C-alpha cells in the first residue's frame, strides 16, 4: 500500500499537538524555533529547531493546528498526486527550512520580537505556491469572504498580504516573514521541476 506523505505529516502534527497539550510548555522549550540571541539571559536556539518547530502549534488554540492541517490537506494532496511523495516532501521541508531561516534573521534585522516560533505555516505556504504553479487556473475559494479566484491570484494576493502585514507590523504574534520564507524554499524546488521538465520535453 502506497504511503501518503501529506497524510503522514498531518498525523505527526496532530500527535505532537496532543503531546504539547499535556507537556505544559516543555515541548516548546526544546523544539520551538527560538531566536539566535539569548532570551531572558539564556541561549535557547538549537539546530534541530529549524525543522521541529513546524510540527508544533499553539496548544491553547485548536484553530491554529486545524486551519494549518486543512490547508496542508487541500494543497498538499493535489501536489503529491502530481509530483509524487519524494518531491512533495522535498518541497515541504525546503519551505520549512527557508521559513525558519527567514524568521531568524528578518525580524532581528527589523528589531521586532524575540519570541519563539511554532507552526506548519511555512511549509503550507510553500505547498500553496507549488499548487498555484502546477494548477494556476484551479479555483480556490476564500473562507472570509467566500470569493472564488484562480490559484495563481490567490497565492499572489496572500503573499502581498503577508508582506504588507510583516512590514507594517499590524498583526503581531504571527510570523509573516516565515510564511514568505516558506514560499522561497518552494520556489527553489519549483525551479528544479522546471529544469527537469525542460530536459525531458
C-alpha 139, offset from chain centre? 21
Q: What pLDDT was estimated at residue 110?
A: 78
What are the tens digits of pLDDT across the range 22-51? 998 899 999 999 998 888 778 899 999 999
Percent of the chain predicted with pLDDT > 70: 95
DSSP letter string over the chain? -PPPHHHHHHHHHHHHHHHHHHHTTHHHHHHSB--SS-BTTB----TTHHHHGGG---TT-HHHHHHHHHHHHHHHHHHHHHH-HHHHHHHHHHHHHHHHHHHHHHHHHHT-----B--SHHHHHHHHHHHHHHSTTSEEE-SSS--EEEHHHHHHHHHHHHHHHHHHT-STTS-HHHHHHHHHHHHHHHHHHHHHHHHH-
Instruction: Estimate to the nearest angstrom the gap between the alpha carbon of 143 and the chain centroid.
Output: 19
Measured distance between the N- and C-terminal CA atoms of the chain, rounded to whole angstroms: 31
Render pLDDT for 83-92 as a digit per residue (tens, 0 to 9): 999 999 999 9
Confidence of residue 184 (pLDDT cuts 50, 70, 90): very high
Mean pLDDT of 149-163: 94
pLDDT class for 113, splitting at 50, 70, 90? low
More confident residue, 108 or 61: 61
Per the structure block, which three cell numbers stand in for 19?
503531546
pLDDT of 144 reads 64
C-alpha to C-alpha distances, 39 to 44, 127, 167, 198, nearest whole angstrom: 7, 32, 23, 48
| Range ranked top by mean pLDDT from 2-6, 50-54, 103-107, 172-176 | 50-54
- Amino acid 167: pLDDT: 83
* Paired residues of 33 in beta bridges: 117
The fraction of the chain above a pLDDT of 90, given in percent, is 73
pTM greater than 0.85 (yes/no)? yes
Q: Which of residues 201 and 77 earns the better pLDDT score? A: 77
Q: Is the pLDDT of residue 142 over 90?
A: no
Domains by residue range for the chain, with CATH = 5-200 (1.20.1540.10)
> How far, CA to CA in Å, does 96 sit from each of 15, 33, 93?
19, 11, 5
Arithmetic mean of pLDDT, 146-156: 93
pLDDT tens across 49-79, in order? 999 999 999 998 899 999 999 999 999 999 9
Amino acid at each position: 500500500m502506497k504511503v501518503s506523505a501529506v497524510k503522514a505529516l498531518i498525523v505527526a502534527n496532530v500527535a505532537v499537538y496532543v503531546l504539547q497539550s499535556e507537556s505544559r510548555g516543555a515541548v516548546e522549550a526544546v523544539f520551538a524555533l527560538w531566536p539566535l540571541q539569548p532570551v531572558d539571559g539564556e541561549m535557547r536556539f538549537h539546530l534541530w529547531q529549524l525543522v521541529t518547530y513546524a510540527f508544533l502549534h499553539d496548544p491553547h488554540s485548536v484553530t491554529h493546528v486545524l486551519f494549518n492541517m486543512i490547508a496542508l490537506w487541500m494543497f498538499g494532496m493535489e501536489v503529491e498526486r502530481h509530483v509524487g511523495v519524494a518531491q512533495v516532501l522535498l518541497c515541504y521541508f525546503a519551505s520549512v527550512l527557508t521559513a525558519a531561516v527567514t524568521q531568524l534573521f528578518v525580524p532581528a534585522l527589523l528589531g521586532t520580537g524575540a519570541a519563539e516560533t511554532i507552526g506548519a505555516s511555512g511549509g503550507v505556504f510553500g505547498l500553496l505556491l507549488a499548487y498555484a504553479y502546477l494548477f494556476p487556473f484551479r479555483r480556490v475559494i476564500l473562507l472570509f469572504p467566500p470569493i472564488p479566484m484562480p490559484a495563481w491570484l490567490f497565492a499572489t494576493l496572500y503573499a502581498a498580504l503577508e508582506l504588507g502585514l510583516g512590514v507594517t507590523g499590524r498583526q503581531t504574534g504571527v510570523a509573516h516573514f516565515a510564511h514568505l520564507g516558506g514560499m522561497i524554499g518552494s520556489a527553489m524546488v519549483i525551479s528544479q521541476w522546471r529544469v527537469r521538465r525542460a530536459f525531458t520535453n
